[in-house]
Homo-oligomer: A and B are copies of this chain.
Amino acid sequence: MIEHEHRLRVRYGETDQMGVVYHANYLAYMEEGRTRLMHSRGCSYAELERSGYGLAVRRAAMRFRAPALYDEELLVHTRVDRVRGASVNFVYRITRATDGTLLCEGETELACIDLRTTERKPCMMPESVRRDLGE
């Protein structure tokens, strides 16, 4: 599958007293990566929610290889790993833009939920989304 690349710059508040990016912030970088991947395929997550569907993170995993520093430019490489009827898996590689060093590898599984029910039940993804995310 084709990999999407998103560039971002580390903010000061994303560092911690060890002088590197606090690990939880990589989940936000990964979220930004998949949002932009979807945008690039003509699929807006914001609009998806307005139409009554959400993609809720059900599972997340990360492996940290090297630290990212304040003000560094990072590349978030995102690709769709697998699309099923009611869920989708994304995988990520985050690298330092200047030299390509691998900083973090991650993956997330997202389940489609029906935002119009108060219980937010799992449901099938709209056909158009599966098409946009699939190959």
Contacts and interface: CB of A to CB of B under 8 A. Distances in A.
A2 interface: no
Contact of A17 (B12, B57, B64): B12
Given A12-B35, A16-B12, A44-B71, A63 B56 contact: no
A24 B106 CA distance: 13
A83 to B, nearest CB: 20
Interface stretch (A26-34, A84-92, A93-101, A124-132): A26-34
A55 B48 CA distance: 28
Most B CB atoms within 10 A — which of A18, A24, A35? A24
Contacts of A16: 12-13, 15-17
A93 to B, nearest CB: 15
24 contacts: A11-B32, A12-B22, A12-B31, A12-B35, A12-B45, A13-B22, A13-B24, A13-B27, A13-B28, A17-B17, A17-B18, A17-B20, A17-B70, A18-B54, A18-B56, A23-B27, A23-B60, A24-B27, A35-B71, A46-B70, A46-B71, A56-B64, A59-B62, A59-B63
- In the A-B complex, the 8 residue pairs with the closest CB atoms: A24-B27, A15-B17, A46-B71, A61-B61, A23-B57, A17-B19, A13-B22, A24-B24
